[in-house]
Amino acid sequence: MKTKTLYRERRRIEVTVNRHEDVRRIATHDDKRVRNDASAGAAAAAVAFRC
């Protein structure tokens, strides 16, 4: 019976950690996207200003 309880606790911890990693991965991806979009916008503005 004790083994079953330990398994449940371990699984709960693993699921929580995996959820955290998924959220972090999405947030990091979005940060990179915002940074790239801002860079592209700045480049477009520079080109538009020169013309």
Domain locations along the chain: 1-51
- pLDDT of res. 44: 72
Q: Would you say the pTM of this structure is higher than 0.75?
A: no
What pLDDT was estimated at residue 1? 62
| Residue labelled with tokens 């929580």 | 16
One DSSP character per residue, 26-48 reads: HHHHHHHHHHHHHHHHHHHHHHH
- pLDDT value for 36: 67
Instruction: Point out the residues of the chain with pLDDT beneath 50.
Output: none
